[in-house]
Structure 1
Amino acid sequence: MKILIIEDDQRVAALIQRGLEEQGFTTTLAYDGISGKKLALNNQYDLVITDIVLPKLDGLDLCKEIRKTKPDLPIIMLTALGTTDDKVEGFDAGADDYLIKPFEMRELLVRIRALLKRSTGNTNSIKFILKYADLEMNLQTKSVRRNDTEINLTPKEFKLLEYLLQNPERVLSRTEIAEEVWDTHFDTGTNFIDVYINYLRKKIDKNFDHKLIHTKSGMGFIFKVE
């Protein structure tokens, strides 16, 4: 399941992201309302978590904008404002649930699962297996197999491969990979992404006939059978 987190406090956003990814969710971060709106409307997510107080576009107006085109997308609002009027305002804007800061990660997970169960009808529909060609990744057990061969990856290699599996047959730039996998801006003076791509190639391509990771000169990388 893919969850969009819109939170301008980067420390809080990172804590939520880590907690969700440890439970097998895939997450995307946005640090302001405009960026969050763009991501929510242009991509497919199973749930959105948004703060109310955001730069550029506040969470209430953001929620209203999302509801115009995606009325069924579950939204959880996070805020330090906990009065009844604040909650009513959040629900009136279109939020499905409302969580007051500070909160425990366990409580957020309970709210998320309840909303996903309601929207899908069955929590078992959550996908923990990613497959492409003869490669399979289990997000719960953190295991990877190719053609029944177990492949051992480091946490960062696993996250990089997970992103490739989620975006097959699409050219991924080094900038995109840096931002989505490393949560950092790509420094053209470094080659750390190429280094990790090579690590992955040695583990998932080297001993197999069909290669999956390919370089597009001057553009980036593409994950496909060739």
Structure 2
Amino acid sequence: MKLAVIGTGKTGGKVVELLTGEQISDTFDVNNKPTVEKLKKADAAVIFVPGSAVDDVFDVVLESGVPAVWGSTGYEWPQDLDSTLKKAGVKWLKASNFSLGMNIIRRAIKVISEGSEMLDNPEYHIHEIHHVHKKDAPSGTAISWKQWLGKDADITSERKGDVKGIHELTVKTAAESIFLKHQAHDRAVFAQGAIWAAEQVVKDDIGPGFYDFSTIFDQAIDR
């Protein structure tokens, strides 16, 4: 499988590092912008551009028709994107966090959410820490944690150093506290997950449309 990599910053650069030369069809950045013709040479595209730059590559990726894996956060995806992709026969996948371990966390949060119904007046708090260059706050992952939890949880954010990503959920009552924490030690974990996602999205049993990484992960787990 040959991948086109759009965005070669902190995480996109890790994707390039993990792939061998024959696995890369091309790499694109602000100095080498993707074209439909070049993208069509790839089996799939892995895209790590900021949310503010999605519109710059959106149309060309769509027109190319290649399956695309998006790691862009802080972007409001069109509500009709799923139907647009289905009509075009195109497969896209998005994630706020490509860590496979994070998806294990997601399933654990569901258990905590259901079990906390038995607790006495629980309070929920999510805290996330990232590097100082991360522009969106709270992180897309923290927002996802709150969605997975399905509870009224406060979210706090912290930016320091070169932290790859720390997320912690606290469930507190007057009598006890529950902590769930995920910490990324290397951005390779996100690159590995994005490559895995690209391998999944090209499969014939996945039809056109706009997918969340969690949906594809659960399909693989439950097979």
Task: Tell me whether the two structures share a fold, i.e. TM-score over 0.5.
Answer: no
Output the TM-score relative to the length of structure 1.
0.38
Output the TM-score relative to the length of structure 2.
0.39
